[in-house]
């Protein structure tokens, strides 16, 4: 934040009034990037029903995990990333759940998907699954793996 305030030519107090804390700024930047990736992934998918949701989420997860900047962030700041991106009170996770819920609701409304639980709960579980395979290095010591999530997602959304 000190370097950013110097680059912008403002004092740190002004920067904090503009963007909040470093954590708040990171969440907003990461959400903006995630939202763009979700829009791109959605625009690339022609499937319907559960397969549309799996394809969009799978593309999103692959793009995020293949991004060199995200790889560095997860490697160097994994615990911070997990804290900022998986806790509801930080703001990122609720927005991701809402985006997944909107995908699910579109498919349910089109008659392409039937879910046997509240759509909001299914969306939350999908996001928790994404998080699990993103944070494998911290959870199990394994590399993040998008492909391992896809069969589980398909099973959940068939």
Distance CA 104, CA 126 (A): 10
Question: Would you say residue 130 lies in a domain?
Answer: yes
Number of domains comprising the chain: 1
Neighbour tally for 117: CB within 10 Å: 10
Question: Would you say residue 9 lies in a domain?
Answer: no
pTM of the model: 0.89
- pLDDT score, position 1: 64
Neighbour tally for 50: CB within 10 Å: 20
Containing structural domain, residue 72: 21-156
Structure tokens at 110: 């089109």
Question: Would you say residue 124 lies in a domain?
Answer: yes
Helices (H), 67-157: 68-86, 92-109, 119-134, 136-139, 149-156
Question: Would you say residue 4 lies in a domain?
Answer: no
The predicted-structure confidence for 4-59, as pLDDT tens digits, reads as follows 777 878 877 877 777 778 899 899 999 999 999 999 999 999 999 999 999 999 99
Question: Would you say residue 7 lies in a domain?
Answer: no
Residue 58's domain is classified under what CATH number? 1.10.357
Q: Of 69, 71, 118, give the one whose Cα is nearest residue 97.
A: 118
Question: Would you say residue 13 lies in a domain?
Answer: no
Contact 143, 152 (CB under 8 A): no
Question: Would you say residue 90 lies in a domain?
Answer: yes
Mean pLDDT to the nearest integer, 75-97: 94
Contact 116, 100 (CB under 8 A): no
DSSP state of 9: T
Question: Would you say residue 6 lies in a domain?
Answer: no
Distance CA 15, CA 67 (A): 28
């Amino acid at each position: 934040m000190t370097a950013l305030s110097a680059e912008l030519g403002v004092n740190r107090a002004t920067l904090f009034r503009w963007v909040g804390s470093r954590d708040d700024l990171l969440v907003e930047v990461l959400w903006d990037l995630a939202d763009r990736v979700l829009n791109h992934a959605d625009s690339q998918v022609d499937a319907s029903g559960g397969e549309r949701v799996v394809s969009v989420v799978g593309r999103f997860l692959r793009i995020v995990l293949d991004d060199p900047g995200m790889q560095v962030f997860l490697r160097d700041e994994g615990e911070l990333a997990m804290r900022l991106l998986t806790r509801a009170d930080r703001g990122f996770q609720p927005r991701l759940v809402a985006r997944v819920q909107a995908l699910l609701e579109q498919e349910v409304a089109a008659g392409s998907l039937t879910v046997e639980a509240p759509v909001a709960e299914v969306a939350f579980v999908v996001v928790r699954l994404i998080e699990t395979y993103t944070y494998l290095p911290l959870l199990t010591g394994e590399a993040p793996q998008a492909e391992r999530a896809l069969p589980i997602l398909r099973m959940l959304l068939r």
